[in-house]
Amino acid sequence: MIEPFDDTYFMKKALQEAEVAYEKGEIPVGAIVVVENRIIARGHNLTEQLVDVTAHAEMQAITSASNFLGGKYLQNCTMYVTLEPCQMCAGALYWSQISKIVYGARDKERGFINMNTKLHPKTEVVGGVLAGEASEILKRFFIQRRNLN
């Protein structure tokens, strides 16, 4: 049994957001922002729906969390995201001064780690949480997309 309020618990919530994106025909990436064991923001990819290449799950969650907190800094917050953030999202997370990022699957092509993008020096990063589940939804999405074309 999963203990409440651990990284696995919150990553499952981010995976629920990825499923919402999947159902909308968006690349299934989900993100949540947590402060003091409370989810304050949710986001999933909306790039197709909004016709906006910047409408990544992380960007949606950052905006929502900032609105909730009434400020631009996400200190003492943790973002759970199903896929390693890209360079753009890592830059936004840098500027938000988020305290911790927990991601599921690695993105070896477009992820911030391979791009050598720096995060805020105080940001902790944890990777690989429920990576199998996060990879599976992406694989399922792209298989379905290939079969439709």
> What residues are labeled active site?
58
Sequence-ordered alpha helix ranges (H) in the chain: 7-23, 47-50, 57-69, 87-96, 131-148
* 86 labelled binding-site residue: yes
CA gap 134, 85 in Å, rounded: 13
56 is in an annotated binding site: yes
- Which DSSP symbol is given to 80? E
Q: Is 89 annotated as a binding residue?
A: yes
Binding site: which residues? 56, 86, 89
Binding site for Zn(2+): which residues? 56, 86, 89
